[in-house]
Amino acid sequence: MMAGPLSHIRVLDLSRILAAPWAGQILADLGADVIKVERPGAGDDTRSWGPPFLKDRNGAATSEAGYYLAVNRGKRSLTISLDTPDGQSIARSLAARSDIVLENFKVGTLAKFRLGYEDLKAINPKLIYCSVTGFGQSGPRRDQAAYDFMIQAMGGLMSVTGERDDRPGGGAQKVGLPIVDLMTGMYATIAVLAALARRDVSGAGEYIDIGMLDVQVAMLSNQAMNYLVSGEVPKRTGNSHPNIQPQDVFECRDGAIALAVGNDRQFKEFCNVLGLADLATDERFASNAGRVRNMSILRPLITARLKQKERAEWGKAFEARGVPAGPINSIAEVFADPQVKHRQMRLDIPHPLAGTVPQVASPMRFSGSPPEYARPPPLLGEHTVEILRDLGIDDAQIQRLRADRVI
């Protein structure tokens, strides 16, 4: 196997929390050398966002929180104080040798340290510099801080997530994952890879401005277009899809099953499995548009039949006829699923404190250059001396930097 697709790329990761570090982890999985800069003595905020914390070989809790371990695989950790001249000098030296900088400081903060894009571009014109903030580098909110939950609310996601207001448990809900952070990291990754491709042609670097609110608005996708096309404001519909039916959670004899009937052919097969073949030719339900309009009539007919058998029995029958359906798995059940196990989505990487640390694999699969999992999420400052020596800083200077609390 060849080295990862980005094994020739170095990333200076000045970010923390989740959105930009998620991008850094993706780049690391693809083989890039990602240097994670952290505050001496404290590190990334997410190191303390527990419990749970990873346990060492003796079963005692370490200071490595699960949250931190989820987004920092494959990186090298360097501790430097960016508010000191020496720390800034080290960061500039690293930027001069890097292809990409990731940062998520408040607008203008790094420019005060002479670490803004224009400062670093002057010493490395080919540098790709990606800034991730809550609201982007311009506009009336540019100086405001933001977190995933806040942006889910502001960006409309919570308005279409959750049960209908007129049903038990109705009301706005956030997604059960920090989805805006994750998607912001994905967009940041795509952007820097696009800039790398352009640099191969032009030789020029790039400045990339990613705002979490922008990402959330873009993520509204079909719900945004539903509104823009119709003028009607989308509402929460629980698990029921606003445009495709039957696509919802339905009760069987022993619990719920998720059905995702996506087209008229699948609906015909679905009806055949239920023993309700006439529904597929009923003019009210024969087309998807009709099913969406008449779901209040169709749903009781489907539900009555589904309640006659158990989930597993229905699941096998639907699978045999190509009807998409599945159980609502817990996280534990996900990792026990034969397909997930076959795809090796759980990893165990050697770790200096715990022996091994569990990880969730990258979903990317390459035939010749697979993702790399050579490094676990690093301990705080684990690679500081190694990185400084690579910059030509000798041991005496390293001791001085440590004494001065720069590292």
Measured distance CA(247)–CA(207) in Å, rounded: 42
Measured distance CA(233)–CA(243) in Å, rounded: 14
Half-sphere exposure of 131 (CA within 13 A, CB side): 21
- pLDDT band of 320, cuts 50, 70, 90: very high
Q: What is the pLDDT of residues 154-168, one digit of tens each?
A: 999 999 999 998 888
Under CATH, which number does the domain 247-330 receive?
A: 3.30.1540.10
**What pLDDT is stored for residue 3 in this prediction?**
84
Is it the case that residue 2 has pLDDT exceeding 90? no
Mean pLDDT, rounded, of the chain: 96
Q: What is the pLDDT of residues 181-213, one digit of tens each?
A: 999 999 999 999 999 999 999 999 999 999 999
Candidate CATH numbers 3.40.1480.10, 3.60.20.10, 3.40.50.10540, 3.90.740.10; the one for domain 10-218+343-403: 3.40.50.10540
**What pLDDT is stored for residue 368 in this prediction?**
87
**At a CB cut-off of 8 Å and minimum separation 6, what does 105 contact?**
14, 131
- Of 188, 201, 237, 247, the closest CA to residue 26 belongs to 188
- pLDDT band of 19, cuts 50, 70, 90: very high
The phi, psi pair for 380, rounded to 5°, reads -60, 120
- Annotated catalytic residue: which of 29, 44, 99, 181? 181
Is 181 catalytic? The answer is yes
Contacts by 239-246, CB closer than 8 A, 24 or more apart: 240/295, 242/160, 242/292, 243/292, 244/288, 244/292, 245/288, 245/291, 245/292, 245/295, 245/298, 246/270, 246/291, 246/295, 246/298, 246/299, 246/302
- pLDDT band of 1, cuts 50, 70, 90: low
**What pLDDT is stored for residue 370 in this prediction?**
84
Region 77-101: what's the mean pLDDT? 98
Report the share of the chain in percent with pLDDT over 70.
Answer: 100
- Of 117, 279, 106, the closest CA to residue 204 belongs to 117
Domain map (residue ranges) of the chain: 10-218+343-403, 247-330
